[in-house]
Chains A and B, each alone.
Chain A
């Protein structure tokens, strides 16, 4: 089948191309099971080498190729032509400054992530036997969902609250904090809850739910944010997450 791609482009380095514009490309012999990323590569490799995008693993794990495809945030490598049809519109993700074509400046996104202490804290002496700290599988599963995050920014850049206020830490940073807040081995939960109860923390979330369907890892982002809100209200990270019975 033939597929038409309409791509939002911009190159600050070339006169007359500094402002955003749309360009169309037609590809022949497209298979419905082809990934959108492969098709963008075909455009780049066969028609116009200047088309610029980030990508690496090409199977939805590294988080490089988040873009807005037919108006929805997706990883280009994790969405197939049969899911998007014969006319495909591709734009950079929203809310971050565009560097060139589909490439945005990710610095503000990672800065927000770094704000929430996204690292394990436990200052107790290590186990005397020189072995691992203990944890039950049920405790491990409490935060399983949020460990899946690949920091692709699909959630944060689909969030109208983030579009309206770039200072809001955004869903991805909250997911990053959630992973540690509900880890029974970690000791900095209270500090993270303090950070997230600031004006640009969780309360900017209006439960619009854009983030959850945007997540290519199927993390229940809005639910995770809700659990952090609840933990702040109750002043504790204990007893917030209903544990499903251990498998």
Chain B
């Protein structure tokens, strides 16, 4: 096997990976970015509405308000000191992106333009605030392009279309990763002092998802298989507005610009579920409302979808009702200018023109709040006490800091990846200066190579595509927006049956080496099955409802027993693993504790876990 030696190996070339690459190389490290996609194909590029930062360019705003919204949005499971760092660092990170040339839209004062987004408020929930810095409705695209361009400028090493399939652990620290060069099918060893996982989420566990086909959770599954825990896996966000049946995301920015959700009797139903924030309540709240409306027989044509209406006459009517300034009223050109990609998606895929017709939307599996546990410097931690695994880093969706807690706020994924990609990159540059190379084990890569050989020889009757579809259907049905003991039990059983077929009855048509996507998709399915399994199991064990985890049989949040992060470990053979979940990792409540120490009366404590009201 060819061996490549670099100080820092970064796995994944989305926002978190590229940010880490830039800052690690600026810090003097020799960096290699190893990615299964060309960097510009990464899923960061599909993020639409904006990146939150309390710049206050249009409304009065402060980082502490952003911290509060993040903690509240996360249903108090977010680590409060981490949320504070997120909100504070967001401002410098966004300004730095502008300095790198990111083409944000501008205000009349020539500053970065900002828009409203779900759950983002001023003065601890007082009113919605314009905080999401945007470049039309393609903010993620601009971030990804800008970071890739800066990496070209800084001559970062890229290994494009090298898919990482294993990590090399030597005496409890990480000595690098094993990757397959897709174009040749050859295995390569990347020997590094540090390895940084920025490999994205696993929305492809579900059948209706906004996620790219490539979001198969490779990094998280690799970590799990190598004995690392995954944190808070029961929390997976369903975004309320995916295009009906297709799952393609319709940005919350639509509602930020005044769009409203309407049921089959023409009612703006969010007024009942969230009297203050209405359509811009947090995503878990809105997704549940859509399901509840559907159950009450109020979905459009009885088919489980709602209308998202951003027609100027509708928006302006509600603006008038709310007593908004006439200057805020919109016309067709506002919609065209601010939401061009959304219009394009609807016109292309639905033949629906949102300027003249409402869009059919339903909740779509969108974002993993859980993942590889890290501290605020993106260092991977492996137990409830926060012990760091030397040489291991993670950031972005694949990681769990935790800043999103039980439910992520819109725009905070982009904030997360720039803030913690940046912090991790800096930390890693420091780290690699101070350590020696861990020697590579002689047989590095042998185990995973034989696993691939096993898959390639698959001569059974179960196609990966069929197994994947069955997994996605059972996850959607049983481990979706609402869960009960019964559905979770069923989900776990279905997954066990699929795992059995995956290991004993797989059919692989393509036996060749060059760009074998049949083989790679099968291996990715194995990753998805593991992640689906730990999601269902932690969901089954957490007997409360919090944020995106909604148990109908335990429908209240229970801070007394469950205000804790979960850590789940996989043991035994991959074909028949056992799992061990612990719910003893403390949630950081330091901001609340400070308030208590200052002697603030309860009513004035902003960070005390209370019931969420939007």
List the interface of chain A (C-beta within 8 A of B).
Answer: 11-14, 33, 35, 41, 44-46, 48-50, 52-53, 55-64, 78, 80, 99-100, 103, 105-106, 110, 114, 118-122, 126, 130-137, 140, 143-144, 147-148, 150-151, 180, 183, 185-186, 218, 247
Contact = CB atoms under 8 A, between A and B. Distances in A.
B45 A132 contact: no
Contact of B110 (A50, A136, A144, A151): A136
A247 B333 contact: yes
B571 interface: no
Contact of B101 (A49, A60, A183): A183
Given A59-B248, A147-B142, 11 more contacts: A13-B513, A45-B465, A49-B509, A52-B515, A52-B516, A62-B212, A63-B40, A120-B153, A137-B106, A137-B113, A150-B40
Given A99-B183, A106-B38, A122-B101, A131 B509 contact: no
A136 B106 contact: yes
Contacts of A106: 38
A103 B349 contact: no
B510 interface: yes
A132 B466 contact: no
Contact of B45 (A137, A140, A150, A185): A150
B508 interface: yes
B5 interface: no
A7 B576 CA distance: 40
Contacts of A80: 348-349
Interface string B291-314: 000000000000000000000000
B103 A56 contact: no
B170 interface: no
A49 B138 CA distance: 34
A53 B344 CA distance: 24
B514 A100 contact: yes
Interface stretch (B92-100, B189-197, B559-567): B92-100
B606 interface: no
Contacts of B333: 247
Interface string B526-560: 00000000000000000000000000000000000
B95 A148 contact: no
A58 B212 contact: yes
Nearest to A130: B95
A85 B435 CA distance: 61
A12 B185 CA distance: 12
A147 B40 contact: no
B112 A247 contact: no
B432 interface: no
A17 B183 CA distance: 17
Contacts of A13: 185, 512-514
B518 interface: yes
B37 interface: yes
A132 B95 contact: yes
A50 B46 contact: no
24 contacts: A33-B350, A49-B465, A49-B508, A50-B510, A52-B515, A56-B214, A57-B43, A57-B46, A61-B46, A62-B42, A63-B41, A80-B349, A99-B514, A105-B183, A106-B38, A131-B95, A132-B111, A134-B111, A136-B110, A137-B106, A140-B104, A140-B106, A150-B45, A183-B103
B101 A55 contact: no
A103 B55 CA distance: 44
A58 B105 CA distance: 26
Contacts of B212: 56-58, 62
Contacts of A52: 510, 515-518
Contact of A59 (B104, B108, B153, B345): B345
Contacts of B145: 147
Contact of B337 (A49, A114, A247): A247
Contacts of B38: 64, 106, 110, 151
Given A61-B46, A118-B152, A147 B103 contact: yes
Interface string B309-350: 000000000000000000000000110010001001100111
Interface string B111-151: 11100000000000000000000011010011001100110
A63 B349 CA distance: 17
A143 B106 CA distance: 13
How many chain B residues sit at the interface, stated as a range, is: 35 or more
Interface in B332-372: 333-334, 337, 341, 344-345, 348-351
Interface of A is mostly: loop
Contact of A140 (B105, B334, B510): B105
Contact of A131 (B111, B341, B512): B111
A110 B349 CA distance: 29
Contact of A64 (B41, B99, B135, B509): B41
B517 A53 contact: yes
Contact of A61 (B45, B101, B135, B246): B45
A180 B463 CA distance: 47
Interface of B: 37-38, 40-43, 45-46, 55, 95, 98-101, 103-108, 110-113, 135-136, 138, 141-142, 145-146, 149-150, 152-153, 160, 183, 185, 212-214, 246, 248, 333-334, 337, 341, 344-345, 348-351, 463-466, 469, 507-510, 512-518
A188 to B, nearest CB: 10
Nearest to B248: A59
A119 B153 contact: yes
B47 to A, nearest CB: 10
A12 B95 contact: no
A151 B136 CA distance: 19
Contact of B99 (A133, A135, A150, A180): A133
Given A61-B45, A119-B152, A11 B512 contact: yes
Given A48-B509, A56-B43, A137 B105 contact: yes
A53 B55 CA distance: 43
Contacts of A61: 45-46, 138, 141, 341
B537 to A, nearest CB: 28
A46 B509 CA distance: 11
B105 to A, nearest CB: 7
B69 to A, nearest CB: 22
Nearest to A61: B46
Contact of A186 (B101, B110, B466): B101
Contacts of B348: 60, 78, 80
A60 B344 CA distance: 10
Nearest to B109: A134
A114 B101 CA distance: 17
Contact of B150 (A55, A64, A110, A120): A120
B419 to A, nearest CB: 17
Given A59-B248, A99-B183, A247-B333, A120 B146 contact: yes
B515 A103 contact: yes
A53 B521 CA distance: 12
A200 B95 CA distance: 37
B509 A33 contact: no
A59 B37 CA distance: 16
A120 B185 CA distance: 36
Contacts of A134: 110-111
A135 B514 contact: no
A100 B149 contact: no
Q: Which residue, B100, B103, B246, has most C-beta atoms of chain A within 10 A?
A: B103
Nearest to B183: A99
A120 B101 contact: yes
Contacts of B113: 137
B106 A45 contact: no
B514 A49 contact: no
A239 to B, nearest CB: 20
A33 B38 CA distance: 29
B55 to A, nearest CB: 8
Given A62-B40, A134-B110, A50 B141 contact: no
B579 to A, nearest CB: 29
